[in-house]
Amino acid sequence: MPRFAVRSAFTLVELLVVIAIIGILVSLMLPAVQAAREAARRMSCQNNIKQVILACHNYESAMKQLPPAWTKPALTGDGWSAQARILPFLEAISLASAIDFSGGYKGSKIRVDGVERPIASYRVPTYLCPSETNDRLRTGANGEAIHYPINYAYSAGKWFVYDSENRNGQNVGEGMFTAGRGRKFRDCLDGLANTLAFAEVKAWSPYIRDSAITGNMATPSIESQICGYGGSLKTQTGHTEWVDGRIHQSGFTTTFTPNKKIICLDNLGNDYDVDFTNFREGKSATSPVPRTYAAVTSRSYHTGGVTVALLDGSVRFITDSIDRDLWQGMSTRNGREVLAVPE
């Protein structure tokens, strides 16, 4: 009887089964890998905002006050941000030494790799969350470098931000970072551990500006009120200028809770999740000059909330479900609220 050679090999069915098993295992592992990456990004984000608040503490130790949110330089309205003023305490000495705070940021230049460019276009790594999907240079109409975004904004309070005419004896908001004036720790009657200093924001945020409504504006109770104020819609330039101290570029308010969507339509029916500034700080206008009211929401790419730094130097993750009154109370320096800051 002839003997047939026996070959050992996979059948097609067996091969398909093995491939299916590998696919199932990969699908099970992928969420865990993504979760681990997000945990690493969130930890890096927390470290960044920790460095920012520690730099503020060092600034306060040296200057005996916190940096002002925005200051109007001579003859121009392009005033520097608090984030620009703390650069020497973020080990950005060469960048800080190129800044002339007596003038506006538009005229300040720095030489990078042999090329002179605006300081405003320089990327400051500490000011960018690793989860930011638009970590990119902002360019002008001719492709020239002009600005770089920011993800960590100062707290300006609840809604009212600035009044250049100082009516009723009040020209700045309730936050610890105010326009034209640096606050001292002693101004924080609510306690450093109960008061917001910085929080995450998304770069390239759409915002509505210069509605220029005069007189008092009550804090909006619902998001849809923002769309009724009118103004000019800028579709993607909010929080793209780390040098600019105006609220829509380097600050935030607690008008609405974290990650709250404020959907408004443009003339073509396109919807945008917007911020709002009634009147930009330092923008010239005939008297009476409209006050700066702002709903600039803290937003994050981290699921479920935002990372914040409190004035005592601690860092917390605040969930989207936080009570609105509690969130607003955390942003005031002397509201005398009794707060239990979420862990």
Over residues 100-127, the mean pLDDT reads 81
Q: Is residue 270 part of a domain?
A: yes
Strand, coil or helix: 181: strand
CA–CA distances in Å: residue 126 to residues 18, 44, 154, 294: 46, 10, 14, 25
Query: What is the C-alpha to C-alpha distance for residues 177 and 198, in angstroms, rounded to an integer?
Result: 10
Query: pLDDT at residue 134 above 70?
Result: yes
Give me the domain span that covers residue 224.
Answer: 82-330
Q: Are 300 and 258 in contact (CB under 8 A)?
A: yes
Q: Is residue 67 part of a domain?
A: no
Q: Is residue 27 part of a domain?
A: no
Q: Is residue 208 part of a domain?
A: yes
Q: Is residue 77 part of a domain?
A: no
Per-residue pLDDT of 32-67, as tens digits, reads 666 667 778 888 999 999 999 999 999 999 999 999
The whole-chain average pLDDT of the chain stands at: 87
Q: Is residue 221 part of a domain?
A: yes
Q: Is residue 171 part of a domain?
A: yes
CA–CA distances in Å: residue 151 to residues 46, 56, 197: 12, 16, 14
Total domains in the chain come to: 1
Q: Are 339 and 78 in contact (CB under 8 A)?
A: no
User: pTM of this prediction?
Assistant: 0.87
Query: What is the C-alpha to C-alpha distance for residues 117 and 102, in angstroms, rounded to an integer?
Result: 19
Q: Is residue 248 part of a domain?
A: yes
Query: pLDDT at residue 219 above 60?
Result: yes
